[in-house]
């Protein structure tokens, strides 16, 4: 069965076009059966194609993150990532393998735990991936687009900042206006909005129980504050 289609405004770029359904959170991050609450919006062909090209890159980025090592789903998808690397079809692997370096890894208390690979990721591409995802999430949640002039701050939370973000999340969860959703064992999604400007937001995407990415949206005039 083909994807559902309709005419209207693309949730990502805002252009009026013939639209098809898009999974805002890529299906390749999950294992079957997919959760029943998969987030879908309608997007134009160009945005759909652009986003699809980044799906496997996002999967490989997340499952190769050392903090996803305890997730069964992530490890299952890691096998797929390895196979793509062997076939030389993984953009992620082609990028990191020639430039990966072993670096010392310490606990938060400073205890040396061994060496891990440092991955030189394409920060611009990763920022674009998460920015587009948040555009889709915002449209799904509020049935309107983020203003095209708004900017994004995308950050992968390090081990040092993990506890702070978890405590901040727990604090926000107690508030009525805080919205959060869980998608099987793959993703915990949460966000909050500014009381005066609904387009100023902060999103937490916790993948595989341990890999935290935060995305903030704000008008350009706040960038210098």
Total residue length of the chain: 225
Give me the pLDDT at residue 102, please. Answer: 64
Q: Please choose, from the candidates 204, 207, 140, the residue with its C-alpha nearest in 3D space to the C-alpha of residue 172.
A: 204
CB 215 within 8 A of CB 157: no
Give me the pLDDT at residue 174, please. Answer: 67
The residue segments making up the domain with residue 131 are 5-222
Dist. CA 41–CA 23, nearest whole Å: 7
Give me the pLDDT at residue 116, please. Answer: 65
Give me the pLDDT at residue 94, please. Answer: 83
Give me the pLDDT at residue 225, please. Answer: 40
- Our CA angle for 185, 22, 183, nearest 5°, is 15
Q: What is the total count of domains within the chain?
A: 1
Give me the pLDDT at residue 98, please. Answer: 67
| Torsion region of 97: left, alpha or beta (phi above 0 gives left; psi -120 to 50 gives alpha) | alpha
Give me the pLDDT at residue 32, please. Answer: 85
Q: Which residues of the chain have pLDDT under 50?
A: 1, 224-225
Strand partners, 213: 156, 205
Phi/psi at 161 (nearest 5 deg)? -95, 0
Q: Please choose, from the candidates 6, 9, 22, 7, the residue with its C-alpha nearest in 3D space to the C-alpha of residue 145.
A: 9
Give me the pLDDT at residue 1, please. Answer: 42
Give me the pLDDT at residue 22, please. Answer: 94
Give me the pLDDT at residue 120, please. Answer: 73
């Amino acid at each position: 069965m083909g994807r559902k289609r309709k005419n209207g405004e693309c949730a990502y770029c805002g252009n009026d076009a013939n639209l098809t359904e898009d999974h805002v959170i890529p299906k390749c991050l999950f294992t079957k059966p997919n959760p029943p609450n998969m987030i879908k919006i309608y997007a134009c062909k160009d945005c759909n194609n652009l986003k699809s090209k980044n799906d496997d890159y996002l999967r490989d980025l997340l499952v190769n993150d050392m903090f996803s090592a305890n997730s069964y789903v992530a490890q299952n998808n890691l096998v797929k990532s390895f196979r793509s690397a062997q076939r030389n079809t993984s953009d992620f692997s082609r990028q990191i393998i020639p430039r990966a370096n072993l670096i010392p890894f310490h606990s938060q208390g400073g205890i040396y735990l061994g060496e891990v690979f440092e991955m030189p990721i394409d920060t611009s591409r990763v920022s674009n991936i998460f920015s587009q995802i948040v555009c889709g999430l915002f449209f799904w949640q509020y049935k309107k687009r983020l203003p095209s002039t708004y900017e994004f701050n995308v950050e992968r939370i390090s081990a040092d900042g993990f506890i702070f973000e978890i405590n901040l999340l727990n604090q926000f969860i107690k508030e009525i206006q805080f919205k959060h959703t869980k998608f099987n064992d793959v993703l915990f999604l949460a966000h909050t909005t500014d009381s005066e400007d609904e387009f100023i937001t902060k999103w937490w995407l916790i993948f595989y129980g341990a890999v935290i990415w935060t995305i903030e949206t704000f008008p350009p005039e706040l960038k210098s504050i």
